[in-house]
Amino acid sequence: MREVARHDRPREKLARHGTGAMGDNELLAILIGHGSRRSDAMASANAVIEAAGGLHGLPRLRGGQLERIEGIGPAQASRIVAAVELGRRTLMPPAEERPQFRTPAETAAYLLPRYGSYPVERFGVLLLDLRYRLLGVRLLSVGSIDSSPAHPRDVLREALLASAPVAVVFHNHPSGDPVPSAEDVALTRRLRLAGQVVGVAVLDHVVLADTRYRSLREMGAL
């Protein structure tokens, strides 16, 4: 980075002006620390953001994918993965709290930092009491880039084992598009009908993608 004036270098800029004056690529360049002989830290940061399709796509990049980018070695890749995970955890409430999910927006606010940005589909269920307070979370399946098979009996078994009268199912779309598929809608309706038989109310199915979500309850599909 010899061609950049010292006061414009990311670390010096951060010290002089604070994080508010920093671009996404500059903050990432500080994390990278240094690039390679052919790519400085800023160029590597730009390449990482481009490979991720934007900053919100960073959680979907694995270490091996990062290492294929010019200027990113195992150490830099590990720092980026660790920083993303730390950022995710800062958005989570303390473990001792029992959140209450009265609206789809409250449900999504809890789920997005945990499951919204992953490179493969994850399907799970929130187990709730009658006041919609959290009893537990169960991750039921981890699939491929576009599929995470789940069966109504798996969801209802977890609810019955936990004595949970209410359940909210969720899964993420690695594509970044949270719009439910026809299969998502069909599965949700099967879940609701099966739940009625055994006394478990399936309150919602929330589809996650990066910072966005879709609720089948809000969409009137339940």
Residues of the chain with CATH 1.10.150: 6-90
Which amino acid does the sequence have at 15?
A: A
C-alpha closest to that of 216 among 154, 196, 200, 183: 183
CB 207 within 8 A of CB 172: yes
pLDDT score for 87: 82
Share of the chain above pLDDT 90, in %: 44
C-alpha closest to that of 99 among 135, 134, 127, 138: 134
Give the residue carrying structure tokens 């993420």.
172
Is 0.85 surpassed by the pTM of this model? no
Q: What does the pLDDT look like over 117-162, one tens digit per residue?
A: 888 899 999 999 999 999 999 999 988 655 656 788 999 999 999 9
Spell out the CATH class of 104-215. alpha beta
Residues of the chain with CATH 3.40.140.10: 104-215
What CATH code is assigned to 6-90? Answer: 1.10.150
Give the residue carrying structure tokens 């589909």.
121
